[in-house]
Amino acid sequence: MLCTEAVTQECVQAIRPVYNTSPVQNAPITATDQGVVHVTIQLDPEGRKIVLWEDVQFALKGAINIRHGTKILSFLRGSDYQALLPLRIVALPSVVLDVLVEDPLVQMDVVNRALLVVQPTPLPMPLSGTQSPSSQSEPRPAPLCDDMVECDFNVYADRTLDMLTVPLLSLDQIKRHTENDELNLSITRPFDCNSSWQSQQNSLEPSDGAINEDIADTIVQAVHCDIRAQKMLAMAFQRGSDGLSQSYELAFKWYLRAAEQGDSFAQLCVGSLLAYGQGVPQDYTKAATWYLMAANQGLAVAQFYLGVMYYEGLGVPQEYSKAIEWYIKAAQQGHPDAMVSLGIVSARGWGVPEDRSKAVEWFSKAADQGNRGGETLLGLAYLHGHGAPRDVELAMEWFLKAASKGYIDGQVLVGAMYAKGLGVVEDSTRAMEWYLKAANRGHVQARKRFEDLKVKGYGVHLVLEEPLPYVK
């Protein structure tokens, strides 16, 4: 999405440099104020409006992070909770975002700051994964730590919670649920298929999608109100598979038709697409309504996402008590992300009395299911003696479980444990091996620790790749 004709509010993101020493701005900043520059908004292959981090860095040298008010905006992440590459954030064209920079003498070759447009770097194709919409809720600051092991537990907890606020389903999640026959039985009210939409069969004309005979039976069944077929057809349009051209608009239509018949998972998918504006204008309020329909039918993932909406204040009033109520419902059905969320709010005292022992219970339940965030936070609880007796050996075991699954925080913590000889024999080379894994994925502090040990003569055989602009 390039702005080649004129600079408009919808095709550019307004940003401005701020510094740690900058005074707090009480008056609202507008896109035409002095010092404000613009970077191009583009659409990623999933149809989302984004701003590339490297474009921000090009416009403002020494950029460290991006903020909306006092909230640091997280990079969009995939279904594995790792940052998508190239790094990106959700665009907020209606506001001016603050970019924290290292040096107040930021050099910008700008003729007219108010009209500067940085041309974006093309996104690779294809792209898949789960991204989360940015929110404007209460800030949860995540400062950098000078010491990875002695770092405040809260820093990792807050960052983990930010990664869990993802009210958008990945295609893999949809595929797994669509293939589950039990989901076809979640009908709660009668629905007159013929009178409502069957007359609109022209939505399946070849002009709307390159229909292939391979899914002809599915199409026929979908047209005749077969809910499973409708969901399968929606997924095919969403993925651009089975001979159909990718169309989020048609995906939304078919999910909606199944959702209107009372199918809980289709209701969840409709809410997810509305929350992120795929195939339909973004509408958090409507998204929350559909999440509520699915959640009231007992769908755990919908209950968790509804909790997220209340926690972040997306489409509903921000209410921690309601968020926790829905997290509990989801956790009682075994949803691991809900368990981690409950552990974090218990540890931090958000919406509930602070109770670190209770937090450990929730982290343990999530970790027992192999949840990497739960494993890491449980390890930190044992490391610091937060809600459980201090046990550095056990902490190391949990860090290793998360790190072996590619969890970047786990990799950094394993490196730190080897570097300090906590729970294991001190081994600087092994520490470097784990720091290297995280550093090659752009972790700034891991890179620094790797380079510090390299200077001391350790790990001469280990080679650092070109670093990615990843901010931690």
Instruction: Return all residues near 412 (Cβ < 8 A) that are at least 6 apart.
Output: 148, 434, 435, 438, 443, 445, 446
Q: What's the mean per-residue pLDDT of the chain?
A: 75
In angstroms, the Cα distances linking 409 to 40, 155, 157, 434, 442 are: 31, 11, 11, 11, 12
Q: Residue ranges per domain, the chain?
A: 12-131, 171-333
Q: What is d(CA 441, CA 16) in angstroms, rounded to the nearest whole number?
A: 27
pTM above 0.75, yes or no: no
pLDDT the model gives residue 110: 29
pLDDT in tens, 229-247: 888 888 888 888 777 788 8
CATH class of 171-333: mainly alpha
- Strand order through the sheet with 117-118: 71-72, 63-68, 96-101, 12-18, 37-40, 117-118
pLDDT value for 175:
52
Sign of dihedral through CA atoms 108, 109, 115, 121? negative
Distances (CA, A) of 383 to 252, 342, 426: 46, 20, 16
User: What is the pLDDT confidence band of residue 24, given thresholds at 50, 70 and 90?
Assistant: very low
* pLDDT, tens only, 431-454: 999 999 998 888 888 888 899 999
Query: 7-17, pLDDT tens digit by residue?
Result: 455 688 889 88
